[in-house]
Structure 1
């Protein structure tokens, strides 16, 4: 059972996600145990020529698939913070269970039809970077509902937010600060603290300190004052009344940056939330030395980017030296238009991750790979 130094009624976001993940893993194990027991009984009954026991109902299979997606979202949010078990090993176990259930699901296409929860961008990136070839094939075979974030999924407004129900009645603990409602596929806040917790055999330790830079982790961005100004790196189209549509190059005033989605105000006084990782802080007056933007602002990739700028972008994203050397000779439009086959041919080790990093930029610019 996980322990925390904070009072049990109030937890940090990461600690809470880890605890919820433990309980979701327990639910997956519970269903797996029931399914194996049913299949074992069916095998014995078959030998005796008696009526075979029924498999779990369709609703329980659906619940299992939803909780697998929920677990993947939680792992996408927490994998940088935990060490034991290793996230890649835990992911292998989850996909082993998923493959087993898919093989024994009486309703073909049921898993592919499960929309909620849609996967978070950080979960998709984690899967792209971590899955083995076999598990990657299983994941891709599950279709659009398992391979697109809410921003990319067609008619995503129809997909309701997912709130898991635990078989023992457990409810997630309260967060120190409520998460913004736009994160519809992440764990929602609860109003009741846990009572008796069932410990799953696969469990995670308390969260570790993050080790990633601020450029790929919005929660790590250097703090701004309440009146701080930021520049928009990539355009964003609002999908509901709580979000704000912004264009590349817009200057915004930050009102609240306590979550991954920041509350901002534009020059016309309109307010709304935008992803924190599409913003860069503007230099404070008198501290820019007359040189414009801060030197530590993240490099961006544009169609008119020079090879040097492409190289800077690749290095900022943490790609290997050989990938930087191979792709860094290209201009921005050449890299943005590369097809998956071309990327795989020149950087077979990291082509999936390169493709993943290019995807949101292509979407914002309205361009695609050449065929």
Structure 2
């Protein structure tokens, strides 16, 4: 976990709504051993407090170019020179423009212009601002000047009804980019291993308008794909319909139905491991309507359902079975009993069991509580962020593959 041990990072927090993600970003960097010194713009303090930033970074928060205490020894130059990386997250259109134009009117811009260390920017702004010709010119100019970028991603914006490219990269994506700059030779325990991961729901069409689905957001599956890639694995992510960004460093195959998902998984084999996280619809209609089903005098239509293929069992018992197969058991009752039965029935090496009752908020929520069920017994994991579940699972996979020689 300490891939950035003792690395000195100056974090410039720009004034955008995505500034709140800087709190999680700081936590992720410190988890890996980094020392984070924050610089906040005036706008950033409108979205997140210096007290919060300082508490998580365990560092003084800098913001004033003309601070008499800090500037007695030209403090902005010292800040720029005492760090191994200048990370700007979120990087607003304004911050990008100022650096591209060489303009200095606050501490953040002074530090960036005086820096000799690499600069890594994580842009975040409205899609129209990101697409504007001026921002595009500044982006190209900064790349030519040697500035590195991570993101932006695509998805829903803070503004109601707005979507497109402009979302701040997720904290773990930014951390991975930081590691590429500062720790490119860090150990990659899964280097040379290939994995297939399924994620999200499937949509089983009833007619051109309606479909059978579930509430899966894809967050857990995407986080596992990202964590495997960060550990050096070559990952194919087969994703049902989701609105979250694709993980970085992963080949994503997008599908709609269970049958399409199975086909994509089979085409991605052979692999060393397969992690089946997707909440696949168990049934589909026997005959999909060619046109929208209309209301009639006879009441609701009768839908004849047929079973979808069981992807986990098909691969778990198949000829091209990977050496390691992990499934998920999303249950609302008899959690461990159902997971243990699934372990044997579906030919898996482990099942991650989680309670998806509505009151738990797992479906679509940021946290998860899982129990790892294997032939060795049951490991009860504490409630944690889905990204942390992913990293813990990857640690288990590394230990399992090392012990088994898989």
Give TM-score scaled by structure 1 length: 0.29
Greater helix share, structure number: 1
Greater strand share, structure number: 2
Asked which structure has the greater RCO (Cα within 8 Å, sep 6+), the reply is 1
